[in-house]
Structure 1
């Protein structure tokens, strides 16, 4: 299952190395993941081209978040290979895994900010300690990203002083501060109060429209998926049952399972 149409908007989030626009950036081949006797991913094959925004939809438990966790190296596949920017992520030596992992950023359902650090320090800590960026350079970058997500005045605030929506926007800025080639989004609004969801989704829409960063998104926000996606993959029981542009998937899906799912969530 290939996702390979090119997208080349201006990269306002900053330059990144590798992954020429339109070229294959992520590939999963025959990936299987089991938890005990339960097979979560079943011989999964698909690829994502650089600069594309791909959304994974489907019922809970269909394997969507497991894909993101595999790419983040939070878990490992039982079978198959995963390649990022032409380098093998699994199986691979641990040193190679750590280097490839730097190319991938993730925004989780829960914000996971450091409560004892300011907003600015939350964003600069990883670029300084992991990438070796100077503190001054990291702070300039962090302030630019806080302006991008609408929080330029919150540099000195602590996470406890922010709303849930503001904390999630800080988490988005923190992920972008690492200049990832791939940004993974895992149900980033699911922990928010309903009135805070729109603000976070608007920030992500702006990033999708103004940058060429590759996005792989798991969401139950179907309107958001329709807006930002180049390609939508419908998952069920650890397999892709249908793939296509959002206009077709949401407007005229081919598979009965896709129609059943969308009728339940729309």
Structure 2
């Protein structure tokens, strides 16, 4: 599914988070947003999840309006979008398997057997086939984040949003989560929109990298350009600080 953001502005009080933003994501592509904290990257993902609304401008997903649109229309579009957050947000009183099956049963209307079969496939994909009966509290942070990825994929999203998915993890747990996401990028046709400070990961999975600053796209291009020969001084400054 494609995503089109046109002339979008978002303010929180006197602070302009997004400033007349234009952004186009082709169906099946992998786009990574980089830039300093507070530059508006996560706000874009929150808008696509309908967790916050733009003050002006339009957002469409696969040609269908998300903003402005009636609530019923928003829900229909939103159902095609999944997100993996910084925090895992697993249900602590449910098993790993139940965490992955609950939404497909209650939202998509799948039978319990169908949802469990799909969940077991996904948990095997993320390397947690032996943890189906475990509670989240018995898992490491990296394992919990992999469950969160499986849970998002269980909803069969056409667009998957990744918001700093390794930022809450100990450094030694980051690689396992990024390996899972690389597999998702290379083995599915899901459109990926990723916010990350893991520059090597961004270089590996992205078709396009967008450098954000002060609510605008400062520079956009393929990863070899952005990381190898950035044209804008602000991009060079940011990369020199994080690489």
After TM superposition, the score normalised by the length of structure 2 is: 0.99
Instruction: Give the alignment of 1:1-266 within 5 angstroms.
Output: 19=1, 25-266=2-243
Query: For residues 164 and 256 of structure 1, what CA distance do their matches in structure 2 show?
Result: 37
1:209 Cα offset (Å): 1.1
SS in structure 2 opposite 1:198?
A: helix
1:235 Cα offset (Å): 0.2
SS in structure 2 opposite 1:114?
A: coil
1:101-147 CA-to-partner distances (Å, cap 9, x unmatched) read 10000000000000000000100110111111111110000000001
Query: For residues 167 and 253 of structure 1, what CA distance do their matches in structure 2 show?
Result: 36
1:199 Cα offset (Å): 0.6
1:46 Cα offset (Å): 1.0
Query: For residues 166 and 28 of structure 1, what CA distance do their matches in structure 2 show?
Result: 34
The aligned counterpart of 1:22 is none
Count of residue pairs brought into register by the alignment: 243
Query: For residues 226 and 47 of structure 2, what CA distance do their matches in structure 1 show?
Result: 25
Runs of 4+ in 1 over 4 A off after TM superposition: none
Two-structure CA RMSD over aligned residues (Å): 0.5
Query: For residues 131 and 101 of structure 2, what CA distance do their matches in structure 1 show?
Result: 14
Query: For residues 127 and 32 of structure 1, what CA distance do their matches in structure 2 show?
Result: 34
Consecutive unaligned residues of structure 2, counting only runs of 5 or more, are: none
Query: For residues 25 and 53 of structure 2, what CA distance do their matches in structure 1 show?
Result: 19
